[in-house]
Structure 1
Amino acid sequence: MGAGGLRLHVLASGSRGNAAIVENTVTGAGVLVDCGICKRDFLARCDEAGFDPAKLAAILVTHDHTDHTKGVGVVLRGLAKQGVEPTVYVDDAVRAASKEIESVEDACDLRALPIGGMLSVAGMAVHVFGTSHDAASSCGFRFEGGDDAVGFMTDTGRVTGAAHEALTNVRILALESNHDVQMLADGPYPYPVKRRVGSDAGHLSNDQAAAELETLLSDRLEQVVAMHISQNNNTYRLPVDALAAACARMSHGARVQAAYQSMLVSIR
């Protein structure tokens, strides 16, 4: 597999539902990261991306919040009717905390997600690292296939050392850029929620994401996508501008774009 052998299809990203597929173009197989969207949207955006759901090898669940899990059951049941039974990987703490995961325990091959370890699935090596979020447990991923690599991290209030290491030297980087600090401060959320979002167990701001991106820029990095953008405390332009400015400061030519709540973004 040469460079560009992996693709990232962000089906949805935001507080109303999250789902993304990392596709191995050599095998055609893919891995679904989270499923917080309905079956109709899942199938429609797979079709738009040109990805065959029958090629879905696994579902990886980052944490137990419902915007990442609420569609798992209905999508699994829909796929099962087509004879497709992807393995579901979830951390034991998330499994215990999530009613959505509990509801599918008897309907799929459910396996422990090894945070700090590695999986081999869909012809890819998947490195699993912990993140800092107010959930039972939370994680992000580094996908490697041939000489290609995708880094994927959302839902974290700070960048852990393990996360930084895993996201280094990737070609495609999916990086949370959740909120604008001033918009959050001036916005409609109650103060305790504002404090949670901006805490080390909340979400990365545009400024935090841009600062981290500066440290991750490499000759290999080609594509950056801003993830989990708040519809109340951000715009789709602000995180792109912040991340693009980080690239410009370092004279780096990576392309920066936003992931959307209700629109597919495919990155090749």
Structure 2
Amino acid sequence: MQPEVAADVARLEPAASVAPGHTLRLHVFASGSRGNATVVEDATTGAGVLVDCGICKRDFFTRCDEAGFDPAHLAAILVTHDHTDHTKGLGVVLRGLAKEGVEPVVYVDDAVRAASSELNTLEGKHDLRPLHAGDALSLAGMSVHAFRTSHDAASSCGFRFEAADGDVVGFVTDTGIVTGEAHEGLTGARLLALESNHDVQMLKDGPYPYPVKRRVGSDVGHLSNVQAAEELAALLSAKLEQVVAMHISQNNNTYRLPVDTLSAVIKREGHTACVQAAYQSMLVSVS
């Protein structure tokens, strides 16, 4: 464990029990360039939806145990895009779930399916259904709206999860800009998972080749800390309570910088929302 991660772990507190009217929980199993997986859970039923699966079977089931989420209640898996850090664990996790008698539906864009070797291997073995930006799905007791993001993938999207009582989780990673669709989808969220991938100066001075630096910082790359802060300022509302900085680069950022940058927006606006980082190899749950 990196020293700064260990220092932050000491500051984290276990997620509190769900307050009245707070139906949804967000469990970030892993977030970063080495693998991504997040569960959005309806706490009233225990049912959940997995967003992406770029982690191994062992880590998936370990994080489920740590989060107190029963994988038997996993209703569906949503795939944001075709990059392997979001898909490489799908096959092994689905096989592990099948051994437990759990067979969640996998929703994925047709273009993403065609571009992904991992998804191609699932054809005929699992229930794969189409997913497109603009779709509204009813999953695990939640209304799930997919919106377009801006990334150098075959197709990419983020999600708005809304419970029957109006509780909302907004989820967006892997986007170079916040599209109008994405902003609309994130508006009014109580729990917000927002990409804060890199520090602009660290990316400029860092070890990546210039073409990679240009790609990361482009409109089809990843949101910087500053871009995330600008979007957060536009999303502040009385409903917002928790912000999780997502997909933090381990080469071009620290776990502290996004939290400080986003927290500065909260403080400046006199808001009360809490901000924390999502980690590559440690569970973060908010409710």
Q: TM-score, normalised by structure 2?
A: 0.92
> Shift of the alpha carbon at 1:116?
1.1
Give distance in 1, aligned partners of 2:103 and 2:115. Answer: 23
> Shift of the alpha carbon at 1:117?
1.8
* Equivalent position of 2:103 in the other structure: 85
Count of aligned pairs between the two proteins? 268
Show the 5 A alignment for 1:193-232. Answer: 193-232=212-251
Give distance in 2, aligned partners of 1:130 and 1:50. Answer: 31
Give distance in 1, aligned partners of 2:152 and 2:228. Answer: 18
* Equivalent position of 1:31 in the other structure: 49
The residue type paired with residue 201 of structure 2 is Q
The residue type paired with residue 147 of structure 1 is G
1:42 aligns with 2:60: yes
* Equivalent position of 1:178 in the other structure: 197
Q: Deviations over 1:105-128 (max 9, x none)?
A: 211111001311211000000010
Q: The residue matched to 2:102 in structure 1 has which SS?
A: coil
Percent identity for Structure 1 against Structure 2: 76
Give distance in 1, aligned partners of 2:233 and 2:176. Answer: 17
Residues 134, 202 of structure 1: 8 Å contact kept: yes
1:266 aligns with 2:277: no
The residue type paired with residue 157 of structure 1 is G
Aligned match for 2:114, one of 96, 121, 137: 96
Q: Deviations over 1:12-50 (max 9, x none)?
A: 000000000000011110000000000000000100000
Unaligned regions of 5+ residues in structure 1, if any?
Answer: none
The residue type paired with residue 216 of structure 1 is L
Aligned match for 2:181, one of 162, 187, 201: 162
Q: The residue matched to 1:244 in structure 2 has which SS?
A: helix
1:250 aligns with 2:273: no
Q: Deviations over 1:108-165 (max 9, x none)?
A: 1110013112110000000100000000000000000022100000000000000001
Q: Deviations over 1:224-264 (max 9, x none)?
A: 00000000000000000000001111111100000000000
The residue type paired with residue 228 of structure 2 is A
Q: The residue matched to 1:47 in structure 2 has which SS?
A: helix
The residue type paired with residue 233 of structure 1 is N
> Shift of the alpha carbon at 1:2?
4.9
Q: The residue matched to 2:176 in structure 1 has which SS?
A: coil
* Equivalent position of 2:11 in the other structure: none
Unaligned regions of 5+ residues in structure 2, if any?
Answer: 1-18
Q: The residue matched to 1:143 in structure 2 has which SS?
A: strand
Question: Which segments of structure 1 move beyond 2 Å, counting only runs of 4 or more?
Answer: none
Give distance in 2, aligned partners of 1:181 and 1:3. Answer: 39
Residues 59, 89 of structure 1: 8 Å contact kept: yes
Q: The residue matched to 2:266 in structure 1 has which SS?
A: helix
Residues 61, 90 of structure 1: 8 Å contact kept: yes
Q: TM-score, normalised by structure 1?
A: 0.99
Residues 131, 140 of structure 1: 8 Å contact kept: yes
* Equivalent position of 1:68 in the other structure: 86
Q: CA-atom RMSD, angstroms? A: 0.9
Residues 2, 148 of structure 1: 8 Å contact kept: no
